[in-house]
Structure 1
Amino acid sequence: MKKKIIVIGSGFGGLGAANRLAAKGHDVTLFEKRDGLGGRGYQYQINGFKFDGGPTVMTAPYIFDEIFELAGKKRDEYFKLVPLDPFYRIFNPEGQYFDYRHQLKDMLDEIEKWNPADKDGYLRFVKNTRGIFEIFHKYTDQPFLKFTNMLKIMPGVIRLGGYRGTYRHVSKYIKDDFLRRVFSFHPLLIGGNPFDTPSLYTLIVQFEKEWGVHYAVGGTGAAVQGLGKLFSDLGGKIYLNTEVDEILIKNNRVSGVRLKDGSKYDADAVVCNGDVAFAYKHLIAKEHRKKFTDSKIERMKYSSSLFVIYFGTKKRYLDSKLAHHNIILNKRYRELLKDIFEGDKLPDDFSLYLHMPTITDTSIAPPNCESFYVLSLVPNLKAKVDWENKGEMYRDAILNFLDENYLPGLNENLAASHFIDPPHFQNTLNSYRGAAFAFRPSLLQSGYFRPHNRSEEFDNLYFVGAGTHPGAGVPAVLSSGKIAAELIDPTTSNRKN
């Protein structure tokens, strides 16, 4: 039966769910607070440069392809993905680097340069991550609505050591200190501390090895626009600059939404791509919430936030030692991460992720220019940092570091610059405490213990995005969209090419 469905937010989870439901013939309306689609994947356009606002690491293209196939379309008619190799170039504090490659032989060659004795350990680590992948991959697009769902995976978690912190787990196999960092950094991509995040999340490593790391030509924003166009082609309705102010409840069910301007829209089901903690705390009145009370929301553990600088230069840096994706590690590792995740002030030092997409795609910058995005993990707003006064100083410290060590002449060649900070995540993206990845990925905040894709409070309210199962990262949030859409309508699409 055709349903009237409202989707709140146009991140990858919301767009994925909206397209899947529209492809099955439902009447789907999407409301987006900002002036463009994408949520964290919003794309800025400044002085002729295109800057992806958030996710840049694209893995598992099949998850995108599924959405288009369900609609009887082909993904490459809407946007194209190209593979990258190396996946990442990881720099130690002295500026030497390790290329994180796709093929096993290439990885062993890289390890040979650093510590040949770790090659055997790496092969055992690969076998372990393959085991984790084979057990848990099938659950990444399945709902965890019952505790028995969690019980099914626990024997595998215990047998493969998936409960151990990732760094500790990697250290079982790898002895070189720098290589331990190289093979344990992946939790940082989803808002987790490698010393706390269970090695169950090395599932991400195998996702990359299985399907590669890709780049969307035109930037991540091109993938967002492709999904938006598909939704429009399917008859979906999009309202930009339209903020939902309340999820309406009647007889313990969701009845629709009320917008900031006071207008109301009825719905048979609502899919919320907004931050889960924010949605429960600010979009649903207290008297309707029995499980997700304000005190429960306060008690949950949240991810780090981010400080991101988008900048373009009026010269190319093709003679630099940078690759497409770069990770620049600090001398302090464990201590810095502790300061970020547990501290109450902004650390003076930083490790960085530096994105240089124009090395792959010159279309996103003016001729003879370079486009960059540099990201630093910072404490969320539980730490009392005066970002209004510290933001520009922190930006300058990062740009000066890059000028002195990686991009000579950067400051004098800037052609565009913009930054976002934790208050942006809280006030613009509605992320509770400015946490960039919602809830921290811990064993007790994963699977059944993470907020469910179908609300525990109302059986016709669904959540997609980083704050629900299976978690943060582009493949995961797309999978959450699949889960929600199939909970609403488990039938297959009848559309043909």
Structure 2
Amino acid sequence: MRKEIKIIGSGFSSLAAACYLAQDGHSVTIFEKNTTVGGRARQYQRDGFTFDMGPTWYWMPDVFERFFADFGKTPQDYYKLTQLSPGYRVYFGKNDYVDIDSKLEDIKATFETIEPGSAAMLQEFIDEAKSNYDIAIKDLVYRPGESPLELVTPQTVKKLGQFFSNISRDVRKKFKNNKLIQILEFPVLFLGAKPSDTPSFYSFMNYADFGLGTWHPEGGMFSVISAMETLARSLGVTIHTNAAIEKIGVENGTASWMLVNGTKVKGDIIMSGADYHHTETLLDKAYRGYSEQYWEKRTFAPSSLLFYVGFDTTIKNVEHHNLFFDTDFDAHAIAIYDNPKWPKDPLFYVRFPSKSDGHSAPPNMEAGTFLIPLAPGIKDTPELRDEYFEKVIHRVEQLTGQELKSHILFKESYCVNDFIKDYNSYKGNAYGLANTLLQTAFLRPKLKSAKVKNLYFTGQLTVPGPGVPPALISGKLTAGLISKQLNKATKVTV
């Protein structure tokens, strides 16, 4: 039976869910508070420069392929995809860097030059990571987190110990060189927690890195959003932008309407891909599934200070993706997770997409995105933003051996206050809830409200977790639960 389904937000998870629900024959409408679709994956354009405002790493290409295949499509039907080589560069000091190549054999050779004997250790580590990837990404993450039994399979039983060890401990058992340790700990930062708080099983992120590689969709990650929007519209999805949700109305215990820009909009099913905590504040207090105390005790992934910078020249000695790990990794992690404050000497990430994609900057110029991970909820002022831009631009100049400040045409910043204003993000977090042991699978906020019928959630604060591929999966999972409920109701009425 065709139902009216209303979706809040237009990020990856919302667009994915909309596609699946429309394919099932339902009338699907998306409401997005901002002027364009994409949620945190919006695009910023200025003076011929183009920036992805949010996600910039295209990992796990198989997840994207699986999504589009569900609709008889491929990613290449919508955007050109190129594997980056090297995938990224890691700076440890002036003229001291490691390039992570596109092939594992080349990466092993690089490791061996840094720490003799490490090539064999890396192969062993990645073999285990691939085994975990095959279990997690091809199976477990496509389960909706309704029961702990979802995690119990013959394969996971064999790996039970990995849920009680951690990435940091495992890496240090095999590698002694600090550069290699930091490179291997880096991928799990996408999961939003310290390597020492991330279960060993999540080493599958290392296989996503070294085994599957780093890719780039021409035009940036917004090309993926545009592809999903095109697919959604082709399936009949209606999308409204500049449509802020002010309240979710509950009648007889059932979500039945939303207040959109002051207008009451009815729906048979309401699903939110917006910030989970914020969505619940749209409900009367009695209908909220999680208390303020619950959210306060969660471990959130970091927020970020971002800068979008236009340069009037090309930048030397950098790649498309660059990590600057020339300061104390552990001290920065403590400033994010243990003692929230602005880090004294932050690690940071810089992206120059114009190294691979002529669409991102005018000829002989460069578009640069700078990102500093920060604790969510910390003080955010223009003065602090300027101070930290000076820190990172100075270090890039020093480490890459060039003067850059005089070549800046413009810079725009984005930080905690903006995440709150634009996305209603809890404490201004950028990536959702961290994937720690006690925030994994069925221990995360549920896809389906326990207190309100016909109210569902999707996105990085629920199952399966933070990141773009998990967001695609989250949309599929929520759509599946909705279809299951509606099919069950149809059978009962028949």
Query: 1:458 is matched with which residue?
Result: 452
**Aligned CA-pair RMSD:** 2.1
Judged with a 3 Å threshold, the aligned counterparts in structure 2 of structure 1 residues 35 and 326 are, in CA distance, closer, same or farther, namely same
Separation (CA, whole Å) in 1 of partners of 2:443 and 2:251: 27
Separation (CA, whole Å) in 2 of partners of 1:331 and 1:391: 19
3-state SS, counterpart of residue 102 of structure 1: coil
Query: 2:196 is matched with which residue?
Result: 195
5+ residue gaps in structure 2?
488-494
> Do 2:132 and 2:201's aligned partners in 1 also have CA atoms closer than 8 Å?
yes
Judged with a 3 Å threshold, the aligned counterparts in structure 2 of structure 1 residues 227 and 386 are, in CA distance, closer, same or farther, namely closer
1:322 is displaced (CA, Å) by 1.4
Separation (CA, whole Å) in 2 of partners of 1:243 and 1:170: 46
Separation (CA, whole Å) in 2 of partners of 1:31 and 1:414: 37
Q: What amino acid maps onto 1:54 in structure 2?
A: G
Judged with a 3 Å threshold, the aligned counterparts in structure 2 of structure 1 residues 265 and 310 are, in CA distance, closer, same or farther, namely same
Separation (CA, whole Å) in 1 of partners of 2:249 and 2:204: 38
- TM-score normalised to the size of structure 1? 0.92
Query: 1:495 is matched with which residue?
Result: none
> Does residue 143 of structure 1 match 2:144?
yes
1:177 is displaced (CA, Å) by 1.5
> Does residue 219 of structure 1 match 2:213?
no
Summarize deviations over 1:169-192 as a string: whole Å, max 9, x none. 211221211111111111222322
3-state SS, counterpart of residue 350 of structure 1: coil
What is the identity percentage for the equivalent residue pairs of Structure 1 and Structure 2?
29
Query: 2:230 is matched with which residue?
Result: 229
Query: 2:294 is matched with which residue?
Result: 296
> Do 2:126 and 2:206's aligned partners in 1 also have CA atoms closer than 8 Å?
no
Query: 2:23 is matched with which residue?
Result: 23
Q: What amino acid maps onto 2:228 in structure 1?
A: L
5+ residue gaps in structure 1?
493-497
Judged with a 3 Å threshold, the aligned counterparts in structure 2 of structure 1 residues 367 and 463 are, in CA distance, closer, same or farther, namely same
3-state SS, counterpart of residue 292 of structure 1: coil
> Do 1:52 and 1:220's aligned partners in 2 also have CA atoms closer than 8 Å?
yes
- TM-score normalised to the size of structure 2? 0.93
1:150 is displaced (CA, Å) by 3.7
1:478 is displaced (CA, Å) by 0.5
> Do 1:47 and 1:415's aligned partners in 2 also have CA atoms closer than 8 Å?
no
Separation (CA, whole Å) in 2 of partners of 1:98 and 1:268: 54
Which shifted more, 133-142 or 67-76? 67-76
Separation (CA, whole Å) in 1 of partners of 2:442 and 2:50: 39
3-state SS, counterpart of residue 249 of structure 2: strand
Summarize deviations over 1:385-434 as a string: whole Å, max 9, x none. 24243122222222232233337231111123111011111221111011
> Do 1:302 and 1:435's aligned partners in 2 also have CA atoms closer than 8 Å?
yes
Separation (CA, whole Å) in 2 of partners of 1:104 and 1:453: 37
1:106 is displaced (CA, Å) by 0.8
Separation (CA, whole Å) in 2 of partners of 1:144 and 1:156: 20
3-state SS, counterpart of residue 477 of structure 2: helix
1:211 is displaced (CA, Å) by 3.7
> Do 1:191 and 1:436's aligned partners in 2 also have CA atoms closer than 8 Å?
no
> Does residue 482 of structure 1 match 2:483?
no
Q: What amino acid maps onto 2:102 in structure 1?
A: H
Summarize deviations over 1:209-264 as a string: whole Å, max 9, x none. 454321110111111112112222222111111111122222222113112x2211
Query: 2:386 is matched with which residue?
Result: 392
Which shifted more, 320-329 or 196-205? 196-205
1:94 is displaced (CA, Å) by 4.1
1:335-350 equivalence runs, <5 A: 335-350=331-346
Judged with a 3 Å threshold, the aligned counterparts in structure 2 of structure 1 residues 279 and 127 are, in CA distance, closer, same or farther, namely same
Query: 1:158 is matched with which residue?
Result: 160
1:422-461 equivalence runs, <5 A: 422-461=416-455
> Do 1:10 and 1:32's aligned partners in 2 also have CA atoms closer than 8 Å?
yes
Summarize deviations over 1:455-474 as a string: whole Å, max 9, x none. 33334222221111111111
Separation (CA, whole Å) in 2 of partners of 1:407 and 1:56: 25
Judged with a 3 Å threshold, the aligned counterparts in structure 2 of structure 1 residues 70 and 125 are, in CA distance, closer, same or farther, namely closer
Query: 1:112 is matched with which residue?
Result: 112
> Does residue 359 of structure 1 match 2:359?
no
1:365-384 equivalence runs, <5 A: 365-381=361-377, 383=378
Aligned length: 484
Which shifted more, 390-399 or 12-21? 390-399
Judged with a 3 Å threshold, the aligned counterparts in structure 2 of structure 1 residues 283 and 156 are, in CA distance, closer, same or farther, namely farther
